[in-house]
């Protein structure tokens, strides 16, 4: 099972560190080798390398858009065969709106900025845009890679089509009726979910699932909250970093205007702010990657796990109903055979689902712990690195400020 | 002879390192002080001054500083002989240590603490405005100061906010029009005050009181640092006397307040109409310089204010995240991961503290300094404007004299002896006649120009010192916080990797 991948370390190029688990299976390797952002859509180039017999070629590429990913995800969801599997969460829609708006505002902008300030702001915003772009690529890629790694899901026919079929899948976006239908479905689902999870009549035969249910319900809420707060914190960090730009610029102007002893101090301070800006910017983006993205992913993944539990609960309800029907039939001695068959079917379905779900949930935990551990350690390492850079820069600046003071007192 | 006071350092009294006075010259070195002539007596306003100026002979005027050192040597002996012990120390001018070199180590270090909140509230209920503040003043080496009033080393008085405003308004009316840069007082804030009055015991009103206290402290320090202002009786009374008459004229809607507003408007209009022939390049240069400085400082100040705001936000958000992470850690059923998340939460909480501290430093060191200087430069510009007004008065007097002379000439031709006499009187005999007025105008103009030159010189030195000190302090604060961040993460890393 693939962990959440950590796709870029640093801002240079697309260096990735793909976590490969123990069952390294290279028989089907999927990656997004290229992506192009056009006006309002992104085109991903999905590149597959495989030695599986089913495929016509060993290496091939297709171009896919976001809607086609969603279509693929939905087909998995709707497939009864996969009811006992945690379906990897669909990647979020690429959203460059905010970033584009900011760039636009900057362009229309503000005559009050100096040329350097403007250039720096532009650079910041472009970097932000690029980061969002990279992230959306990563999310889509992770989705595909999890599918490719899963022993059952990878064999899905639609998946093959998705990877191989070099024409447009003509997956139209959901029309209004479908969206509304989907919306209704969600309401019904969550109502059912609530009903089922609270129904005491439903005998939870398995301690394992009982525990998992309690755990997942709470965990999902908490991780959602943390994801939100982490986002806000990251955003604030970015704001502070951006604030350093006009400060540094104004200090520079003051330093050059000034003919007195403090001109050098101003310039040194301006330099420091510039250095700090870069560091703070990196801290913010690292926090975003290691923390916010991680939390966000597990918010979605834990939702998928919850969905699995719900499906199992529904199957259990069906099974219970079938039992009741069978009892009634036996009492009335009518349609007993039919009822028996039905009950058997339900029982089998339920047990198969339960077994699969158990394994899936265990895997989920392993995956989750590994991902958190990896990201937390990396985050700490990065924060340490940045803290050193910051400390050094401020230390030096202070040193040179003292130095100029001493120098001037000799003058 | 007045001993000069060493400028008390801005902020803590303990930080003596910032008094290195890097420019090498210490305005207030002992040698200079012995060369000081009697304290400057601002002409019209202070009644006492008149006596001294007449009794002191030739130069009744300024404190002569480093540029005139040569002359001062000669002058000094003169002054000393004139200073007679029996002369009334109206300006508390004790001449006793005059002959011996006086080391002006006397420090007037006002420190201000606000009264306890409860008492504050009581006062507020009675009075219409103002917090009450305790001023702790410490004067070191009181025997060596010539101001006999500072007999005790340390003493304390209570003052209201309106008292500070009253002091400033008195000083401004006495000194600004002759070219002294009077430090501006902190501004009134209706919003802030109402909050405090309403008695809200929330952090924002505590913040407001602290902000105000700090601003008042800086204001007072700047005022007493100014050698001329420290000599002023109003300042001394402010520092010393246990009770002050209520400064009613500082209220915005009082008669005096309205008069002030009208005057300000009139000034603004006049400024536009005065076209001065600047003969002195120095003034032109300086004005341009201050204009540029003003612009840049305002810009920087706005940016720093934004930074303060965002850093506070960052602190709030970090705290929220820390709590959330702690809760997540609690619900995580994998024990090691749960521990790790709790650690993360702890680290983030500590970092939040740091953000708060940094924001505090950002504000009190950086932002407030900038806002102080923005207002100080407005005062400087005001002083330049006063010079223009003085010039204008002089020109007006000259124009008038011209007219009167022409009229006199005409009358001479017209042969009207009585009217002619009258005209002559107006020109020469009357006190002050127009000739006299022109002379006075010229003197005034030269005087204010000279004063401004010195004031600007002093101002620039102070400015350099202030900024240097603050920059260093600010860097210190940054170093502190950065080091701690590193430490926290290092510790948590160590714990993590054990896992």
- Give phi and psi for B159, each to the nearest 5: -135, 150
Contacts of A215 in chain B (CB under 8 A): 331, 333
Q: A394 and B479: CB-CB below 8 Å?
A: yes
Residue A86 near residue A304, CB atoms below 8 Å: yes
Task: State the smallest CA–CA distance between residue B66 and chain A in angstroms.
Answer: 17
- Residue A26 in this model has a pLDDT that exceeds 50: yes
Q: Residues B306-323: what's their mean pLDDT?
A: 91
Cα-to-chain-centroid distance, residue A161:
25
Residue A2 near residue A146, CB atoms below 8 Å: yes
Q: Residues B244-259: what's their mean pLDDT?
A: 62
Separation of alpha carbons A339 and A344, rounded Å: 8
From residue B223, alpha-carbon distances to B23, B216, B226 in Å are 22, 10, 5
Length of chain A: 411
- CA-wise closest residue to B92 among B139, B150, B45, B142: B150
Contacts of B497 in chain A (CB under 8 A): 377
- Residue B464 in this model has a pLDDT that exceeds 80: yes
Please report, to the nearest 10 degrees, the dihedral formed by the alpha carbons of residues A219, A223, A226, A230 taken in order: 160
Q: B334 and A410: CB-CB below 8 Å?
A: no
Least confident of A165-169, B244-248, B348-352, B483-487: B244-248
How would you class B36 by CB atoms within 10 Å of its CB: exposed for 0-12, middle for 13-18, buried for 19 or more?
buried
Q: Quick one: closest CA in B to A230, which residue?
A: B321
Q: A380 and B297: CB-CB below 8 Å?
A: no
Q: Which residue in B310, B467, B493 is closest to A380 by CB distance?
A: B493
From residue B344, alpha-carbon distances to A299, B266, B340 in Å are 18, 62, 6
Q: What is the DSSP letter of B27?
A: T
Q: Which residue in A230, A243, A388 is closest to B306 by CB distance?
A: A243
Q: What is the DSSP letter of A37?
A: E
Q: How confident is the model at residue B434 (pLDDT cuts 50, 70, 90)?
A: confident
Q: Tell me if the bond preceding B432 is cis, omega within 30° of 0.
A: yes
Give the pair of three-digit tokens for residue B7.
């400028």
Q: Residues B122-147: what's their mean pLDDT?
A: 44
Separation of alpha carbons B375 and B388, rounded Å: 20
Please report, to the nearest 10 degrees, the dihedral formed by the alpha carbons of residues B480, B482, B488, B493 taken in order: -150
Q: A261 and B23: CB-CB below 8 Å?
A: yes
HSE on the CB side for A293, CA within 13 Å?
Answer: 26
- CA-wise closest residue to A367 among A77, A135, A149: A149
Q: How confident is the model at residue A194 (pLDDT cuts 50, 70, 90)?
A: low
B123-144: b (≥16 Cβ within 10 Å) or e: ebeeeebbbbbebebbbbebee
Q: Is B132 left (phi over 0), alpha (psi -120 to 50) or beta?
A: beta
Separation of alpha carbons B173 and A108, rounded Å: 47
- State residue A295's pLDDT score: 93
Q: Residues A90-101: what's their mean pLDDT?
A: 86
Separation of alpha carbons B402 and A371, rounded Å: 93
Separation of alpha carbons A327 and A332, rounded Å: 9
Least confident of A167-171, A199-203, B38-42, B364-368: B38-42
From residue A284, alpha-carbon distances to A128, A131, B445 in Å are 11, 12, 59
B411-450: b (≥16 Cβ within 10 Å) or e: beeeeeeeebeebbebbeeeeebbbbbbeebeebbebbbe
- Residue B81 in this model has a pLDDT that exceeds 70: no
**Mean pLDDT in chain B?**
67
- CA-wise closest residue to B313 among A73, A238, A140: A238
- State residue B231's pLDDT score: 80
Q: How confident is the model at residue B34 (pLDDT cuts 50, 70, 90)?
A: very low
Separation of alpha carbons B103 and B98, rounded Å: 11
Q: Which residue in B289, B337, B496 is closest to A380 by CB distance?
A: B496
Residue A393 near residue A272, CB atoms below 8 Å: yes
Q: Quick one: closest CA in A to B460, which residue?
A: A260
More confident residue, B383 or A19: B383
Residue B345 near residue B322, CB atoms below 8 Å: yes
The gap between the terminal CA atoms of chain A, to the nearest Å, is 70
The predicted model scores a pTM of: 0.73
CA angle B283, B286, B288 (to 5 degrees): 110
- Beta carbons within 8 Å of B14's beta carbon, 6+ residues apart: none
Q: How confident is the model at residue A72 (pLDDT cuts 50, 70, 90)?
A: very high
Range picked from B11-20, B264-273, B353-362 for highest mean pLDDT:
B353-362
Q: B334 and A251: CB-CB below 8 Å?
A: no
Q: B341 and A372: CB-CB below 8 Å?
A: yes
Task: State the smallest CA–CA distance between residue B295 and chain A in angstroms.
Answer: 10
Give the pair of three-digit tokens for residue A1.
């099972």
Instruction: Render pLDDT for B150-193 as a digit per residue (tens, 0 to 9).
Output: 555 666 777 788 888 888 888 888 888 888 888 888 887 776 66
Q: Which helix (H) or strand (E) holds A367?
A: helix A336-410
Instruction: Render pLDDT for B329-360 as a digit per residue (tens, 0 to 9).
Output: 998 888 888 888 888 888 888 888 888 888 88
Task: State the smallest CA–CA distance between residue A313 and chain B in angstroms.
Answer: 22
From residue B29, alpha-carbon distances to A116, B352, B498 in Å are 45, 46, 62
Q: B496 and A377: CB-CB below 8 Å?
A: yes
What is the side-by-side order of every strand in the sheet holding B107-114? B107-114, B132-140, B154-160
Give the pair of three-digit tokens for residue B314.
């960052």
Task: State the smallest CA–CA distance between residue B140 and chain A in angstroms.
Answer: 25
Give the pair of three-digit tokens for residue B359.
């924001």
Helix A336-410 to helix A207-257 angle, to the nearest 10 degrees?
20
More confident residue, B108 or A289: A289
Task: State the smallest CA–CA distance between residue B476 and chain A in angstroms.
Answer: 7
- State residue B138's pLDDT score: 58
Instruction: Render pLDDT for B202-222 as a digit per residue (tens, 0 to 9).
Output: 667 777 777 888 888 888 888
More confident residue, A363 or A177: A363
Residue B34 near residue B73, CB atoms below 8 Å: no
The percent of residues in chain A predicted with pLDDT above 70, rounded, is 82
Q: Which helix (H) or strand (E) holds A26?
A: none
- State residue A168's pLDDT score: 77
- State residue B273's pLDDT score: 66
Residue B199 near residue B282, CB atoms below 8 Å: no
- State residue A297's pLDDT score: 94
Q: How confident is the model at residue B326 (pLDDT cuts 50, 70, 90)?
A: very high
Task: State the smallest CA–CA distance between residue B314 and chain A in angstroms.
Answer: 5
HSE on the CB side for A148, CA within 13 Å?
Answer: 26
Least confident of B64-78, B248-262, B323-337, B462-476: B64-78
Q: Which residue in B23, B304, B482 is closest to A247 by CB distance?
A: B304
What ipTM was reported for this prediction? 0.83
More confident residue, A2 or B223: B223
The percent of residues in chain B predicted with pLDDT above 90, rounded, is 9
- State residue B325's pLDDT score: 92
In total, the C-beta contacts within 8 angstroms joining chain A to chain B are: 177
Separation of alpha carbons B110 and B124, rounded Å: 24
Tell me the β-bridge partners of A47.
A31, A61
- State residue A52's pLDDT score: 83
How would you class B224 by CB atoms within 10 Å of its CB: exposed for 0-12, middle for 13-18, buried for 19 or more?
buried
The runs of H, that is alpha helices, within A46-170 are 66-78, 97-108, 115-149, 157-164
- CA-wise closest residue to A5 among A134, A190, A153: A134
Tell me the β-bridge partners of A6.
A17
Residue A121 near residue A99, CB atoms below 8 Å: no
- State residue A188's pLDDT score: 64
Q: A232 and B317: CB-CB below 8 Å?
A: yes
- Beta carbons within 8 Å of A227's beta carbon, 6+ residues apart: A292, A295, A296, A299
Q: Which residue in A243, A251, A365 is closest to B334 by CB distance?
A: A365
Q: How confident is the model at residue A364 (pLDDT cuts 50, 70, 90)?
A: very high
- Residue A333 in this model has a pLDDT that exceeds 80: yes
- Residue A1 in this model has a pLDDT that exceeds 80: no
Give the pair of three-digit tokens for residue A249.
């610029």
- Residue B123 in this model has a pLDDT that exceeds 60: no
Q: How confident is the model at residue B118 (pLDDT cuts 50, 70, 90)?
A: very low
Contacts of A299 in chain B (CB under 8 A): none
Range picked from A167-181, A311-325, B76-90 for highest mean pLDDT:
A311-325
- State residue B320's pLDDT score: 93
Separation of alpha carbons B195 and B212, rounded Å: 13
Residue A231 near residue A271, CB atoms below 8 Å: no
Range picked from A101-105, A125-129, B49-53, B315-319 for highest mean pLDDT:
B315-319
Q: Residues B383-406: what's their mean pLDDT?
A: 87
Task: State the smallest CA–CA distance between residue A393 and chain B in angstroms.
Answer: 9
Separation of alpha carbons B183 and B215, rounded Å: 12
Q: B333 and A215: CB-CB below 8 Å?
A: yes
Residue B448 near residue A364, CB atoms below 8 Å: no
- State residue B60's pLDDT score: 32
- Residue corresponding to tokens 């796709």: A7
Instruction: Report the residue of B17, B19, B22 to disrupt the A interface, i.e. the one with the largest count of A CBs within 10 Å.
Output: B22
Instruction: Report the residue of B331, B365, B366 to disrupt the A interface, i.e. the one with the largest count of A CBs within 10 Å.
Output: B331
Contacts of B305 in chain A (CB under 8 A): none
Separation of alpha carbons A158 and A73, rounded Å: 10
Q: Residues B100-106: what's their mean pLDDT?
A: 32
Q: Quick one: closest CA in A to B358, which residue?
A: A240
What SS3 state is found at B134? strand
Q: Is the dihedral of CA A267, A273, A275, A277 positive or negative?
A: negative
- Residue A304 in this model has a pLDDT that exceeds 90: yes
Q: Which residue in B475, B486, B489 is closest to A397 by CB distance?
A: B475
Separation of alpha carbons A122 and A108, rounded Å: 12
- State residue A44's pLDDT score: 92
Q: Residues A191-202: what's their mean pLDDT?
A: 56
Least confident of B116-125, B224-233, B334-343, B469-478: B116-125
Q: How confident is the model at residue B8 (pLDDT cuts 50, 70, 90)?
A: very low
- Residue A130 in this model has a pLDDT that exceeds 60: yes
Q: Which residue in B23, B464, B475 is closest to A401 by CB distance?
A: B475
Instruction: Render pLDDT for A203-219 as a digit per residue (tens, 0 to 9).
Output: 666 788 888 888 999 99
Q: How confident is the model at residue A224 (pLDDT cuts 50, 70, 90)?
A: very high
Task: State the smallest CA–CA distance between residue B323 and chain A in angstroms.
Answer: 9
- Residue corresponding to tokens 């006190």: B431
Separation of alpha carbons A5 and A300, rounded Å: 15
Q: How confident is the model at residue B25 (pLDDT cuts 50, 70, 90)?
A: very low
More confident residue, B213 or A137: A137
Number of Cβ atoms within 10 Å of the Cβ of B291:
13
Tell me the β-bridge partners of B387.
none
The percent of residues in chain B predicted with pLDDT above 70, rounded, is 59
- Residue A223 in this model has a pLDDT that exceeds 90: yes
């Amino acid at each position: 099972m693939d962990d959440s991948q950590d796709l870029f370390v640093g801002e240079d190029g697309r260096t990735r560190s793909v976590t490969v688990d123990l069952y390294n299976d290279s028989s089907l390797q999927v990656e997004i080798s290229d992506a192009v952002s056009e006006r309002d859509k992104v085109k991903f180039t999905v590149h597959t390398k495989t030695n599986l017999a089913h495929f016509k070629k060993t290496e091939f590429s297709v171009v896919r858009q976001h809607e086609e990913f969603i279509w693929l995800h939905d087909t998995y969801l709707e497939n009864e065969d996969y009811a006992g599997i945690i379906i990897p969460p669909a990647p979020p829609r690429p959203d460059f709106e905010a970033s584009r708006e900011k760039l636009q505002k900057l362009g229309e902008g503000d005559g009050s900025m100096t040329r350097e300030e403007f250039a720096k702001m532009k650079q910041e915003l472009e970097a932000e845009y690029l980061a969002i772009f990279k992230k959306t690529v990563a999310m889509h890629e992770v989705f595909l890679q999890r599918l490719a790694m899963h022993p059952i899901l990878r064999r899905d026919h639609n998946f093959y089509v998705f990877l191989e079929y070099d024409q447009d899948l003509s997956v139209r976006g959901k029309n209004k009726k479908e969206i509304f239908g989907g919306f209704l479905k969600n309401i019904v689902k969550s109502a059912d979910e609530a009903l089922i999870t609270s129904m005491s009549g439903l005998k939870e035969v398995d301690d394992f699932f009982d525990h998992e249910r309690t755990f997942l319900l709470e965990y999902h809420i908490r991780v959602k909250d943390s994801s939100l707060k982490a986002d806000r914190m990251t955003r604030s960090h970015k704001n502070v970093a951006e604030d350093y730009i006009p400060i540094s610029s104004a200090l520079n102007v003051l330093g050059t205007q000034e003919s007195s002893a403090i001109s050098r101090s101003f310039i040194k301070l301006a330099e420091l702010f510039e250095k700090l800006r870069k560091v703070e910017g990196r801290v913010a983006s690292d926090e975003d990657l290691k923390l916010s993205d991680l939390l966000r992913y597990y918010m979605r993944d834990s939702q998928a796990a919850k969905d699995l539990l719900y499906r199992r609960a529904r199957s259990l309800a069906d099974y219970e109903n079938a039992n009741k029907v069978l009892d009634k039939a036996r009492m009335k001695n009518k349609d007993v055979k039919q009822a028996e068959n039905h009950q058997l079917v339900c029982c089998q379905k339920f047990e198969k689902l339960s077994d699969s779900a158990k394994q899936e949930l265990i895997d989920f935990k392993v995956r989750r712990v590994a991902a958190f551990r990896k990201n937390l350690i990396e985050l700490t390492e990065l924060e340490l690195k940045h803290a050193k850079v910051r400390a050094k820069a401020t230390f030096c600046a202070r040193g040179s400020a003292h130095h100029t003071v001493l120098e001037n007192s000799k003058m | 002879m007045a001993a000069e006071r060493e400028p008390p350092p801005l902020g803590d009294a303990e930080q003596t390192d910032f008094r290195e006075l890097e420019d090498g010259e210490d305005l207030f070195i002992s040698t200079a002080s012995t060369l000081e002539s009697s304290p400057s007596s601002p002409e019209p306003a202070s009644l006492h001054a008149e006596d001294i100026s007449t009794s002191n002979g030739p130069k009744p005027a300024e404190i002569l500083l480093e540029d005139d050192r040569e002359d001062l040597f000669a002058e000094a002996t003169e002054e000393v002989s004139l200073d007679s012990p029996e002369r009334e120390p109206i300006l508390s001018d004790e001449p006793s240590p005059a002959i011996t070199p006086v080391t002006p180590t006397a420090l007037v270090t006002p420190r201000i603490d606000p009264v306890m909140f409860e008492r504050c509230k009581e006062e507020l209920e009675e009075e219409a405005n103002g917090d009450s503040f305790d001023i702790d003043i410490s004067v070191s080496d009181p025997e060596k100061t010539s101001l006999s009033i500072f007999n005790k080393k340390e003493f304390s008085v209570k003052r209201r906010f309106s008292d500070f405003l009253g002091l400033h308004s008195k000083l401004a009316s006495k000194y600004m029009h002759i070219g002294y840069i009077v430090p501006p007082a902190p501004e009134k804030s209706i919003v802030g005050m109402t909050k405090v009055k309403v008695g809200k015991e929330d952090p924002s009103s505590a913040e407001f009181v602290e902000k105000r206290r700090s601003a008042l402290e800086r204001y007072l320090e700047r005022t007493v640092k100014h050698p001329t202002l420290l000599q002023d009786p109003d300042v001394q009374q402010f520092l010393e006397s246990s009770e002050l008459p209520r400064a009613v004229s500082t209220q915005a809607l009082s008669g005096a307040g309205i008069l002030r507003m009208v005057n300000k408007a009139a000034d603004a209009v006049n400024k536009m109409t005065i076209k001065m022939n600047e003969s002195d390049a120095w003034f032109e240069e300086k004005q341009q310089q201050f204009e540029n400085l003003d612009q840049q400082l305002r810009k920087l100040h706005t940016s720093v204010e934004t930074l303060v705001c965002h850093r506070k936000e960052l602190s709030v958000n970090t705290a929220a995240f820390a709590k959330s992470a702690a809760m997540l850690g609690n619900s995580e059923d994998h024990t090691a991961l749960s521990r790790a998340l709790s650690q993360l939460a702890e680290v983030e909480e500590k970092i939040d503290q740091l953000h708060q501290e940094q924001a505090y430093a950002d504000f009190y060191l950086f932002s407030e300094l900038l806002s102080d200087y923005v207002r100080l430069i407005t005062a400087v510009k005001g002083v330049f404007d006063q010079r223009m007004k003085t010039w204008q008065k002089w020109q007006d007097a000259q124009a008038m004299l011209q007219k009167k002379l022409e009229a006199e000439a005409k009358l001479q031709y017209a042969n009207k002896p009585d009217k002619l006499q009258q005209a002559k009187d107006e020109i020469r005999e009357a006190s002050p006649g127009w000739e006299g007025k022109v002379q006075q105008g010229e003197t005034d103009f030269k005087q204010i120009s000279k004063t401004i030159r010195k004031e600007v010189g002093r101002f620039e030195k102070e400015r350099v010192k202030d900024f240097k000190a603050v920059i260093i302090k600010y860097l210190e604060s940054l170093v502190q916080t950065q080091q701690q961040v590193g430490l926290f993460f290092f510790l948590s890393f160590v714990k993590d990797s054990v896992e």
